[in-house]
Every structure is written in structure tokens, then in C-alpha cells.
Structure 1
């Protein structure tokens, strides 16, 4: 059953200067892993009449972890360090637009992290919980960037996240 269907998020990350918006670094097409917890939540909400999440939130993480699909919202904080050095009070709302051809993204409302300190973001995740550092809710995506994203208080990180279902032939 593992090869029947594919789905997942893809991420673009821009590092922009706060003072003029100039792009300092760009990463395009980083592919995620939808953890088992996320796959189960999607299947339950759609095929078993379960409730879908009220909202989705995007966060950043640092650390050496390589996603393997076994991450959960409860275990993520033991595997990585959540990046919280940004001005917003919680993880950013993932405001997804209309569905077309089995896909949707936040292209019309990018997640913009207004960085306050210095550090490195090695990846991103999508959760059903807004609070920074929370280990509750469900984890729908975890991605490790191919190259770390360095930041300091002079920049913001802007993330485009898109989700797609892919129909496969047997």
C-alpha cells in the first residue's frame, strides 16, 4: 500500500532584508515528508468523517534531525529545536488558497517570519497548534532544507508552502 498515492508539501524560502526587501538567499522546491501522524489525520478527516483542523500553522526548526516520517507533534521538540526568535507571538498561520488540480498553496499570503536574533533554520514544519514550542495537536509536514537558512535581526524569512496530491498509475 505504500506506493498507491503520494502527497506532500513543497517549500520555497526567501531570506529578505527588512530595510529594502532585497532577496539575500533563496531556496526553491524543498520537499517534505508527511509524517505518519499527518497521513492518518488526513485520511481520518476525509475518509472516516473526522474533523479537519480549524487552522494550520507553520514553524521553523534547527538541529541535525533527518525527517523519517515517525515524527509527531508530541515528539518533534525532542528531535529538533524550534526557532522562536521572531516577532510574531506564535507560529504563523498557513493561509492556503483555493484548490486547483489537487493542489493548493499560500502564494497569496506568504508566511513572513520577522527575525529578532541570530541563528539558523534547518527546516520547517506544519502543525495544527499555534503556540511556539507546543507539543500538542497534529504534525502534517516536516522538511529539512538542503542548505541551512542563516538569519539575524536584519532579515525576515518568507516561506511559500504548497500541498499536492499526486495520482499514480499501478
Structure 2
């Protein structure tokens, strides 16, 4: 059976270092079981839609599994909280009326306050920076960890393509 969700979310990242150098890369994600369960419940109309989603980044040398949940973010995943915003930035997704849902119009931006090696990013339903509650919609470990010095402006665009199946 083919998946209407394709390969899940893809993360397009752009780091503007304090030196002015810009580094860009793209990685795909894992849809954890919490995400699959939430989507199934939406289709079956047994749960309410979540009105807001938020992007976070992690500094733990962690490899996500299907069992990874929002409860793991502060501990095992090692959410990075070394950025200037008081809360996780919003994932303000829009739909192109064809197949893509993404936050290209309003990227999630992190201004780093200390030097960090970042291993990945995620989308969760809680805005609480360093929090461990909510629905974990997506989590991606970057192919290569990225060193982000203090002062780096790190922007994350995350999106999913809904793929028609035959």
C-alpha cells in the first residue's frame, strides 16, 4: 500500500553564521507513532484538530525511533533551548491547494545565544521551550550534525507533500 503522506516531512535549513557565511541543507524526517495515531484519529473524527504547531531543535546525539514522543524531548532527545525566543517558534503552515503544506512563507527562526552542535529538528503541539508535553508530529535527525555559534540565525522550513496514490 502506498502512503498518501509520502516520506513525511522534509526540513530545509539555513544557517547564517556570525561571519556572514550561509549554510543550507535538507533532510527528511520520521513520523513517530504519536503522529500516525493523531492523523488516524483526525480521519476517523475521534479527536479534535490541533490549532498550532511549533518547531524545536535538538542538541542530543539522538536517533529518533517510531516510539519517540514529546515526553522524550527534554530528556533523551536533548532539546536545545539556547536561542533568544522565550517559546518555540510557531510552525505557520500553509497549503498550496495542490499537494504541499509548509511554512515557507513564515520560517521558524532561532537566534542562537551560545555555541551549540545541533543534531536535528522537530514539530510539536506545545510552544513550551524545553517542555515535554503535546503531540510530536515530526522529528528529523540531520544527516550531518551542525555547529551553530552564538549569534547564528538558524531558519527552518518544514513541509509535507500529500501524494495521490493509485
- In the TM superposition, residue 24 of structure 1 has moved relative to its aligned partner by 2.3
- Normalised by the length of structure 2, the TM-score is 0.90
Equivalent residue, structure 2, for 1:82? 79
The separation in 2 between residues aligned to 1:58 and 1:71, in whole angstroms, is 16
Aligned-partner SS, 1:75: helix
Q: Which residue of 2 aligns with 1:10?
A: 10
Deviation of the 1:66 alpha carbon:
1.4
2:161 corresponding residue in structure 1: 164
- Secondary structure of the residue aligned to 1:42 is helix
Q: Deviations over 1:111-150 (max 9, x none)?
A: 1101111011100010000001111111000000011121
**Aligned with 2:37: secondary structure?**
helix
Q: Contact between 1:92 and 1:111, CA under 8 Å: does it hold in 2?
A: yes
Is 1:64 the counterpart of 2:61? The answer is: yes
- Cα deviation, residue 77, structure 1: 2.7
Across the two proteins, how many residue pairs are aligned to each other? 164
Q: Which runs of 5+ in 1 are unaligned?
A: none
Find the aligned partners of 2:65 and 2:83 in 1 and give their Cα distance. 27
**In 1, distance between residues paired with 2:21 and 2:94?**
24
More strand by share: 1
Q: TM-score, normalised by structure 1?
A: 0.88
Paired residues for 1:129-148 under 5 Å: 129-148=126-145
